[in-house]
Structure 1
Amino acid sequence: MKAGHYDSFAECYSADNEVNLINGYYERPAMIGLAGDVNGRRILDAGCGSGPLSAALRERGAIVTGFDSSPAMVELAQRRLGEDVTLLVADLSKPLPFADGAFDDVVVSLVLHYLQDWAAPLAELRRILRPGGRLFLSLNHPITYPTVHPGSDYFALARWTDEYTFDGHRTELTFWHRPLHAMTKAFTDAGFRISVISEPPISPETPRELLPPQLGDRTSFLCFIFFVLEAH
């Protein structure tokens, strides 16, 4: 995905992201829950979008910095968070403008699955984390690609595109699928220890009308997979 791809529909994406099932009541609450007590911790939101996760972490006492490759998203985040929060236009696939060990934690929410190469981004994230720091990741679940494309090779690195509608705006997003063992190998090769792999339920505050009828009484479904990694 090209840097700045979200610029053309940033407002629509942000509005949809606030209230939809997948982001508002599933992915974001799960990330916040995994982060736990963040009071006083220096946290980088890598791929911050319009800043909803940054705002939630700041409300819990974190000292937040963020960046995104979309200038339009960074502008929306700055409006939300105010000028006292440092927000930059930067690209996770390139060297990051932060010192070694600058952060206690990094959150990377639904970003890595846009990238073919993980080695350089993960090395940069490891560099800017202090020893013992935590990396929180959410990604497309590896079962998604073979489910959407029956007959595809689960074990292959594969590029795939799907169409989405955000607050009335239709667009295509392109992702890179990799199997679970390739994900975990990339993490450990970059110097991380895997402490949590999570497939969480939706938030108990989810409005019933947002739930698909086929879910029935279940509170979990396969969509994203979540990791907590420790830098060592």
Structure 2
Amino acid sequence: MPATPESSAGAADVAVENDYDGFAEAYAAENETSLINAYYARPAILDLAGDVAGRRILDAGCGAGPLSAALRDRGAIVAGFDRSTKMVELARQRLGDDADLRVADIAGPLPYPDAAFDDVVAALVLHYLEDWTAPLAELRRVLKPGGRLIVVVNHPVILKMEQREADYFAISKWSSEYTFNGQKAVLTYWHRPLHAMTDAFTAAGFRTAVISEPHPAPEARELFSDELARFPSGAFLSFLFFVLEAV
């Protein structure tokens, strides 16, 4: 969820679910400077990742590549994939023709050997999937023993904030409309309660090391003073961040 949703919609109203090829350029442009992505999700991921110099990192659902670029700038050896061909094209423009970028679907087999990476980042991608079993198994497969999986998903309270009558404990599908750089788009998600997330991580062979509800970057308070005026603590609910260790 890259921005505050403008309205909620039933999943049946969505013709093509999560059609990133259709709004890739607008999405990428919006998220270069947005509060939710540029000053909240990406800084929090980089803080959780810590010192990545020399580490091989897979950016799962890399989009247009801003996180891959930031990790590479910190000395990581980065590979990335995305289901959207257009997103991968934009990432290649950012990272260069020699970057290891591929079109692949996190819901299917991944084109990497076993134990290829020290870390995997799956940011804002798992919440599009109803079933996490096979994707988590693949992410565990491509990680070295002891490697880390950093996961960012919609905070499970978001559905209740959007739809007060919704059943928090049910795994359920819901959609919201956004405007990215002037272009309207609909994103469709699968809500799952917190215990369902942690149960899935454990079943896939991960130990939950960190669960984080971070503040935005310090400079966000001045840059987005109107949006953040409603949050005296400086924090708000949007995503939930995990650091998982492959066991």
* Equivalent position of 1:22 in the other structure: 36
Contact 1:109 1:139 survives alignment (8 Å): yes
Separation in 2 of the partners of 1:30 and 1:120? 26
Q: Deviations over 1:33-86 (max 9, x none)?
A: 100000000000000000000000000000000000000000000000012210
* Equivalent position of 2:195 in the other structure: 181
Separation in 2 of the partners of 1:221 and 1:207? 12
Relative distance call for 1:3 and 1:56 in structure 2 (3 A) is: farther
Separation in 1 of the partners of 2:33 and 2:57? 24
Contact 2:221 2:228 survives alignment (8 Å): no
Q: Deviations over 1:180-229 (max 9, x none)?
A: 00000000000000000000001012252424154243211111000000
- Aligned to 2:26, what secondary structure does the other structure show? helix
* Equivalent position of 2:148 in the other structure: 134
Instruction: Write out the 4+ residue segments of structure 1 that deviate beyond 6 Å after TM superposition.
Output: 1-4
**Match status 1:116 vs 2:122:** no
* Equivalent position of 1:215 in the other structure: 230
Relative distance call for 1:216 and 1:179 in structure 2 (3 A) is: closer
**Match status 1:7 vs 2:36:** no
- Aligned to 1:215, what secondary structure does the other structure show? coil
Q: Which amino acid aligns with 1:63?
A: I
- Aligned to 1:92, what secondary structure does the other structure show? coil
Q: Which amino acid aligns with 2:234?
A: T
Separation in 1 of the partners of 2:229 and 2:98? 45
Separation in 2 of the partners of 1:35 and 1:215? 29
- Aligned to 2:144, what secondary structure does the other structure show? strand
* Equivalent position of 1:169 in the other structure: 183
- Aligned to 1:101, what secondary structure does the other structure show? coil
Report sequence identity in percent: 61
Map residues 1-232 of structure 1 onto 2, 5 A cutoff: 5-206=19-220, 208-211=222-225, 212=227, 214-232=229-247
| Corresponding residue pairs, total | 232
- TM (normalized to structure 2)? 0.91
Q: Which amino acid aligns with 1:102?
A: A
**Unmatched tracts of structure 2, length 5 or more:** 1-13
Separation in 2 of the partners of 1:217 and 1:3? 36
Contact 1:3 1:70 survives alignment (8 Å): no
Q: Which amino acid aligns with 2:122?
A: V
Separation in 2 of the partners of 1:181 and 1:57? 30
Relative distance call for 1:169 and 1:127 in structure 2 (3 A) is: same
**Unmatched tracts of structure 1, length 5 or more:** none
Instruction: Report how far residue 146 of structure 1 moved.
Output: 1.0
Contact 1:65 1:85 survives alignment (8 Å): yes
